[in-house]
Amino acid sequence: MVMRRSEYFIPMLREVPSEAQVVSHQLMLRGGMIRQLTSGIYNWLPLGLRVLRKVENIIREEMDAAGAHEILMPGVQPAELWRETGRDEKYGAELLRFKDRNQRDCVLAPTHEEVVTDIFRKNVRSYKELPLNLYQIQWKFRDEIRPRFGLMRGREFSMKDAYSFDVSREASLAAYDKMFKAYCRIFDRLGLQWRAVVADSGAIGGNYSHEFQVLADTGEDTLLFDPEGDYAVNIEKFDAATAPKPREKLVEKKGIEVGHCFHLGTLYSEKLGANVVLEDGKSVPAVMGCYGIGVSRVVAAAIEQCHDAAGMMWPAEIAPFDVGLMTLRKGDAACEALAAQLYADLQKMGKTVLFNDRDASAGEKFAEMDLLGLPWQAIVGPKNAKEGIVEWKNRQTGEKLMLPAGKVPF
């Protein structure tokens, strides 16, 4: 996949729009990745969408590998279903309600426990069909009191939500562990620094609620963790819980919550009558767990963690393109020829390339590429081009390599 900058839709901005406060928001706006439509609601432009899709795909692969099955549930749901669980009232104004043409009460889904449990109760009868884990990647709508910080707290956001169904508490906790491990793989693959923190160890017993936090100085949550062990906790929960470690021995860092694993028990299955028949003929409510990842938030969190004064610095796995190719002198025969060759070579190698072929000054192209933050820049200058040399710059380290055409540093 190779894309010419001149033919692509990347409406970049030189200046920071006044509406953007946080760095991820500013850079995504400046890099032409997103545009705000209205408060807390965004358009995803091609470059931003590429990152979103990459994050989705990593999640999808690991969820599939963990035995979960992808489904897709509707955003528009009957309010009736929400009355069954009592969340119609509980959710309050954050739940967007409206009526269809027949005056039926509808809601725009802020989450999908009700619907997935409805699928279960209508389609699963026997313990033989369990364990079952259904997940989707879908846009949620929560009418936040105050949306802010760009993608970090929007009203409409993409979420991967998985729901496990099991015959017993033991089986459900095993499912939880499986998801927990899948989450660890997901966040490792995303190329981000992260911690799983204990979110609540109360009523359920054991640690069966974890938040997954991407570490970033700009994060809103404060985490405490043991530098020598696995223990990590959100400072909000620290005082409430009996801590296994004294405060002084724990390190404090800021984080952005991007995932949450939660053991639900039979809360929803009982209310909605989602039962399975066991071997002995008795019927019991399914034991559930739910597992969310804020997909669109991950994109913003990655920028909050990985950026410098010049712009974004994408981890390789989720970068919108692998390479930013640029010629420093448009019209120079040697440059054009070498760039064309590179362009073809990289394509053959299966690398994705954004070719900045605009007729702009060298400085402007450097600045643009630094802002977009692709992992590698392939720089074709007039002098080096004559000798068939390409300069490779690593965006994260700043390291520069001079390599003959045909060789790539990664």
Partner RNA sequence: CGGGGCGUAGCGCAGCCUGGUUAGCGUGCUUCGUUCGGAACGAAGAGGUCGGAGGUUCAAAUCCUCUCGCCCCGACCA
Q: List interacting residues with RNA (CB under 7 A).
A: 12-19, 21, 30, 36, 38-40, 142, 144-149, 152-155, 157, 211, 220, 257, 260, 292, 294, 296-297, 310, 328-331, 359, 361-364, 366-368, 370-371, 379, 381-384, 391, 393
Q: Which is nearer to RNA, 340 or 362 (CB)?
A: 362
Q: Which is nearer to RNA, 131 or 391 (CB)?
A: 391
C-alpha span between 133 and 261 (Å, rounded) = 13
Q: Which is nearer to RNA, 43 or 283 (CB)?
A: 43
Q: Which is nearer to RNA, 125 or 383 (CB)?
A: 383
Could you tell me how many residues make up the chain? 410
Minimum Å distance from CB 222 to RNA? 12
How far CA 152 is from CA of 24, 108, 110, 188, 308, in Å, comes to: 9, 20, 16, 21, 19
Give the CB-side neighbour count of residue 289, counting CA atoms within 13 A: 29
Find the angle CA(207)-CA(132)-CA(69) to the nearest 5 degrees: 105
**Closest Cα partner for 24 from 155, 185, 213, 217?**
217
Q: Which is nearer to RNA, 87 or 297 (CB)?
A: 297
Strands of 376-380's sheet, edge to edge?
Answer: 2-4, 353-356, 323-327, 376-380, 389-394, 400-404
- Here the tokens at position 63 are 């969820």
Q: Which is nearer to RNA, 24 or 117 (CB)?
A: 24
- Computed on alpha carbons and rounded to an integer, the radius of gyration of the chain in Å comes to 24
Residue 164 makes CB contacts below 8 A (sequence gap 6+) with 131, 132, 133, 172, 175, 176, 179, 288, 289, 290, 291
Within 164-275, residue ranges assigned H as helices are 169-189, 235-238, 267-272
Q: Which is nearer to RNA, 276 or 301 (CB)?
A: 301
Minimum Å distance from CB 244 to RNA? 24
Q: Which is nearer to RNA, 82 or 366 (CB)?
A: 366
Minimum Å distance from CB 372 to RNA? 10
Kindly tell me the sign of the dihedral angle through the C-alpha atoms of 105, 111, 116, 118: negative
Residue type, 178: K
Minimum Å distance from CB 181 to RNA? 20
How far CA 301 is from CA of 117, 144, 258, 260, in Å, comes to: 31, 19, 8, 15
Q: Which is nearer to RNA, 22 or 130 (CB)?
A: 22
User: Is 307 in contact with 313 (CB distance < 8 Å)?
Assistant: yes
Minimum Å distance from CB 171 to RNA? 25
**Closest Cα partner for 201 from 231, 225, 179?**
231
Minimum Å distance from CB 327 to RNA? 9
**Closest Cα partner for 210 from 193, 229, 223?**
223
Minimum Å distance from CB 249 to RNA? 27
Q: Which is nearer to RNA, 75 or 382 (CB)?
A: 382
> Which residue bears the tokens 């279960």?
120
Minimum Å distance from CB 293 to RNA? 9
Minimum Å distance from CB 367 to RNA? 4
Minimum Å distance from CB 256 to RNA? 8
